[in-house]
A and B are shown apart, each in its own frame.
Chain A
Amino acid sequence: MIAALGLLVGILLGLWFRPDVPLGLEPYLPIAVVASLDAVFGGLRAYLDGIFDDKVFVVSFISNVVIAAAIVYLGDKLGVGGQLSTGVIVVLGIRIFSNVAAIRRHLFHA
């Protein structure tokens, strides 16, 4: 319940403040969002499996975001930032799909 409220509060804050993305962070924010979504779905699946641990969730969340951004940053330095961010998005997308499939099996038994 509180978690859902937190998500809502975040969205409302974003709508309310209308922050500008700093120019340096602009290439990394979309990657970070997708990485954190992956962590969130992984956490939800773990919760439904009964093995959720908040410490692990926090660590995986932060590391997901940091590693994704770091990969893209490294790619930018190497001159392959565009391709690497595409690769990261693809991998995270696959993980999100498999997590969501597990969640679906839990909730709908299908």
Chain B
Amino acid sequence: MPDTKPSMPDTKPRTPTEPGAGRQRLRTALLKPSRAQVVVAVLLAVVGFAAVTQVRATEVDNTYAGLREQDLIDVLNGLAGTTQRAEAEIARLESTRRDLQSSTDSRQAALAQAQDRADTLAILAGLVPVTGPGIRITITEDSAPVDVDTMLDTIQELRAAGAEAMQINGKVRIVAQSSVEEAAGGIYVDGTLLSAPYVIDVIGEPHTLTGGMTFLQGPQAQFEEDGQSVQIDELQSLDIESVRDPRQPDYAQPDTSQ
């Protein structure tokens, strides 16, 4: 600063002015133009021009033409860092996605397995209606009532022949716990009184099931010997609609230690 003269006021000792003097001078300046004001006006015009030019240049200039070499290097470094961070973020998110996908897959596999198992068990326990190929056995009493032992034999032979689901007379589903008792006017199966003619619906491989009934000295021969007639129909599709209510076992518990 070329300042021995007091125009740069912060280099000069502060002289207290009487209050209102500054305002008074400003008012005078606004009202009375002088030569000095013309000079100041020219310089202010230069300032305004330059300022507006710079503002416009800043607004317009989004290229890097005016930047210093160092600035360009900084910009480049910043971009490289941003790229690196973004790539790291992408890698992290991708691995998260992989983890989630694999855990979803394994969860779905476990779910499907459990569902299969539940379906199998539900069929075995007779909890759901089932459909499939099988045979229909119709036992008509011609001259004598059906013997319970023969009925039990029939059920056993059908099971041995691979029967997967059975029902009698469309009412009683035969499961592992089923019991057969003799009764007046028919037989009790699981506490339900059934009477002739007995219709046994069996789902399984039809030929094997038929073979299980008709072999020499088999159930069919037994029934006919006892005085009943047996008719066996092989069906491509058979519906078993009777179900059992699930029963919570009171005494048996799963033993996971074995």
Contacts and interface: CB of A to CB of B under 8 A. Distances in A.
B43 A61 contact: yes
A91 to B, nearest CB: 11
A27 B71 CA distance: 11
Contacts of A56: 3, 5-7
Interface residues of A, number: 62
A52 B36 contact: yes
Question: Which one of B43, B50, B71 has the greatest number of beta carbons of chain A within 10 Å?
Answer: B43
Contacts, number: 179
B97 to A, nearest CB: 42
Given A3-B40, A95-B10, A33 B22 contact: no
Contacts of B46: 10, 36
Contacts of B66: 21, 23, 26-27
Contacts of B51: 11, 14, 33, 37
Contact of A29 (B22, B36, B38, B53): B53
Contact of B29 (A1, A19, A82): A1
B19 A3 contact: no
B191 interface: no
Given A21-B54, A27-B66, A37 B9 contact: no
Interface of A: 1-11, 13-15, 18-21, 23, 26-27, 29-30, 32-33, 36-37, 39-40, 42-43, 45-54, 56-61, 63-64, 67, 76, 79, 81-82, 95, 98-99, 102-103, 106-107, 109
B52 A11 contact: yes
Given A30-B54, A106-B23, A107-B23, A3 B6 contact: no
Given A3-B44, A60-B7, A10 B49 contact: yes
Could you tell me the dominant secondary structure of chain B's interface residues? Answer: helix
Question: Which one of B33, B38, B53 has the greatest number of beta carbons of chain A within 10 Å?
Answer: B53
A14 B52 CA distance: 6
A50 B17 contact: yes
Interface residues of B, number: 52
A23 B67 CA distance: 9
A19 B40 CA distance: 23
B58 to A, nearest CB: 8
A95 B8 CA distance: 10
A82 B53 CA distance: 21
A79 B70 contact: yes
B119 to A, nearest CB: 73
B7 A109 contact: no
Given A11-B48, A27-B66, A52 B7 contact: yes
B249 interface: no
